[in-house]
Every structure is written in C-alpha cells, then in structure tokens.
Amino acid sequence: MKTLLINIHQLLQVRPSEVRFVAGEQMRDLPLIQNAWLLIEKEQIADFGPMESAPLNATKNIIDCTDRVVMPSYCDSHSHIIYAGDRVDEFVQRLEGKSYQEIAALGGGILNSASRLEKTSEKQLYEQAAERLKRCAYQGTGALEIKSGYGLNLQAEVKMLRVAKRLSEKFPVAIKTTFLGAHALPESYKNRKDDYVKHICQEMIPEVASQNLADFIDVFCEEGYFDLEDTEKILSTGAKFGLKGKIHVNQFNAIGGVALGVAMDALSVDHLEELIEEDLMALENGQTMPVALPGCSLFLDIPFTPARKIIDRGLPIALATDFNPGSAPSGNMNLVVSLACMRMKMTPAEAINAATINGAYAMGLEATHGSITKGKKASLIITNPLEDFSHIPYDFGQSPIDQVILNGRLL
C-alpha cells in the first residue's frame, strides 16, 4: 500500500542516511523542505521533495497536509514504563516536605515499586504498560527504550523484560530493552551489596542474555545506590554478553560515572543534572551520547541538565522522558521538548534534533528512525496547522499533534 502526503507546510528533519547524530553547532540546523510531499510505501519513506515534483498519480490514498508540519516521530531513548500501579502517595509526601532520597531511605522509591510489581501478574503488568505505551504513541513517540529494574530478582526482572518483548510484538513502536537489575539494592540483599552485584553478574546477566531479552545494560551509578566499582563490574560483564551500556549517572552527585561510561564505550550516559568539567572532558573523548531528562528535573525540582554547556562544547545531546512512577510520571515528548527550550535554553531546532535523530542514536536505532530519509521507517507526526515548527515548544502543555503514522499506517 502507498500513501502520499501533499502540501506539507514544513517537512522537518530531512537528512542523508550518513548522519547518525548531530553535535554542537550542527544542532542549530534543522533541515526542512517548505511545501513538500512525501510518499510512503509499505512501512517506509519511499521518497519526498518539493510540491512541484509531487507524484500525484502514485496513489489515490492522499493526505492533504496544508498548513501542517510533518516530522519524524519522537525517539524516546530512556523510559521505565513497565511498572505496577503508581507512587502518587510519594508525590504528596514530597509536596509536604520530604525529599526523593528521604522517601527512598524509608523503603519507598524504587523498592516500593518493586514490592508492587512482585504482587502484580504478568498479564496485569502488560495491560498497565500497554495503556501507557498507547498514550505515548498518540503523543508522537515512534521509538522507545524500556528498562527493567523494578524486579530486583531474576524472576521479576525476566517478567518485566518479557512484558517489554510482548509490547514490541504488539505495537508499531520500535522498542529496545535494557536490563537494569542494578537499579536499587533489594530487601533480600540488605547490607550485602557485593553479593547482589555478584548475583547480577553471575546469574542474572547470563540468564537475561540467554533468553535474548535485552539489548542494553544499565546501572544506577549514584551515592547510596551503586558505586563506580559496581558499575564497572556490571558493565564489563554485560559487554561479555553483548549488552552495550546505557547508564544513570550524575542525577544527584557527580562521582565519576560519566568518565567511566565513556571509557567503557557506553552508548549513552543519562540524567547529568550535576555536571562537572571532568565529565565534559570525558564526553569530548568518546562516542557516548549524553541524555537529558527534563521531565525528571521538573517533577523532582532538581537542576536541569546544563544543555548549553554541553552543546557549546561541540557535543551532542539527546532528550528523553524517563517515564517512571517516581521521578517522571509522564511519557510526553512534546512537553520534554518545551521544557528543554524553556528551562535548558535549547533552541526549538536543537530540541527537536535532540528528541529525534540524537534520541535514535542513543538507542541504536539511527539507521531506521529519527529523520526523514529514504528507506527509514515511515513513523511520522502530522501536526495541527502551525505557522512554524517553533510552535511545538512554544505552545507548551498543548498537543501540537493531529495525526500519527507508525510504520506507514495511521494510528
């Protein structure tokens, strides 16, 4: 089946296939075609160009995009959408004055989600996550990374990853999965962190890998969670099993996790709310994508990742939601793009680059997603009538989206 989009006011993010990500000054450039057409064939972008050359006889299946922006769907490279219930009670506790870390130290936080997940069947877990994923898709997300990390024992971690696999089979959203056994120390290993790290390396990673349940491996590298030595052990074991690193670093403290991640050739280092000179220097020497999660900064009222410092050093940056019940209960990439502009002083072009092509790179999907490129997946956002793409962040809190096409089909 073919579909032809015509009269596209602005066709955004038109790139040759060689571009894997954009960095530094390149991020200010968002290549576009004014008054364009785009032809979809099967699941792919077959061709596109300016309206003068539109192949109007290619198909009867035509969508008129007059006054509308068409762009690649968002690539959200960091989420924890598989969780049981919610943590709205902790949200209220924080409003009453307790900090995220204080709540975690009292047995709330990640351990709270782990005990809820333990009591939730795989079927219920799937249904809850599917509902969230559906909402993300309607909000424009066409590729999503999903982490485990609320199981904290082999059986429950595998349960989460199986749910993620099932989501990837049922939804037209491209999904990558990440094993995050080192998200917190479970009750059963209290005061025995070294034993838990050993268990992760000797039992959990081999089993997850043998069932082919994960693409990546992650560690919450932070004071009170897992230190540099733990992170090094887990990432290097993961690497032996073919799992590339994507780590949580510098959320509350800069403890050297960025340099470690870069040295271990991690695909991405995520959070970076606390960023020091050594971290920037490390990033300059590698291929690791820094990922900012402004929804988490907003929700926890912690600093925003200093995007300007990163981009002005010539580095790339990606944006993701961190969708999870504790620190960012939203999977809305439109809001993330707005926050990046309003609170991190990124330009609309930089934010859209960060949320599409750079997000795709941060989850190893840049060959198929993240730009308008012949042969890539036809996963697209058609906006409401907009004078210019800058309205996407400007009209904050409102959805700019009229229709979503995933793998060539209207949602």
Residue 215 or 322: which CB sits closer to Fe ion?
322
Residue 356 interacts with which of ligand NIG, Fe ion, none, CB < 5 to 8 Å by class: none
Handedness of CA 124, 182, 152, 95 (dihedral sign): negative
Q: With CB cut-offs between 5 and 8 Å by kind, which of ligand NIG, Fe ion, none does residue 251 bind? A: ligand NIG
Q: Which does 109 bind (CB under 5 to 8 A by kind): ligand NIG, Fe ion, none?
A: ligand NIG
Note the residues at the interface with ligand NIG (CB under 6 A).
109-110, 113, 220, 248, 251, 296, 322, 324-327
Question: In this structure, are residues 370 and 75 in contact, taking their beta carbons and an 8 Å threshold?
Answer: yes
Whichever of 107 and 385 has its CB closer to ligand NIG, that residue is 107
| Binder of residue 332, out of ligand NIG, Fe ion, none (CB less than 5 to 8 A by kind) | none
Contact 373, 38 (CB under 8 A): no
Least separation, in Å, of the C-beta of 113 and ligand NIG? 5
Taking CB positions, which residue lies at the least distance from ligand NIG? 326
- List all residues 6 or more positions away from 2 whose beta carbon is below 8 Å from its beta carbon: 39, 40, 41, 46, 58, 59, 61
**CB-nearer residue toward Fe ion: 79 or 120:** 79
Nearest-approach distance from CB 218 to ligand NIG, in angstroms: 9
Return residues touching Fe ion (CB under 5 A).
Answer: 322
Q: Rounded to the nearest whole angstrom, what is the least distance from the CB of residue 182 to Fe ion in the complex?
A: 12
* Least distance (Å) between residue 37 CB and ligand NIG: 40
Closer residue to ligand NIG, CB minimum distance, 325 or 370: 325
Q: Which of Fe ion, ligand NIG, none is residue 4 near (CB under 5 to 8 Å by kind)?
A: none
Which of ligand NIG, Fe ion, none does residue 407 bind to, with CB < 5 to 8 Å depending on kind?
none
Nearest distance, CB of residue 114 and ligand NIG, angstroms: 9
In angstroms, give the least distance from the CB of 271 to Fe ion: 7
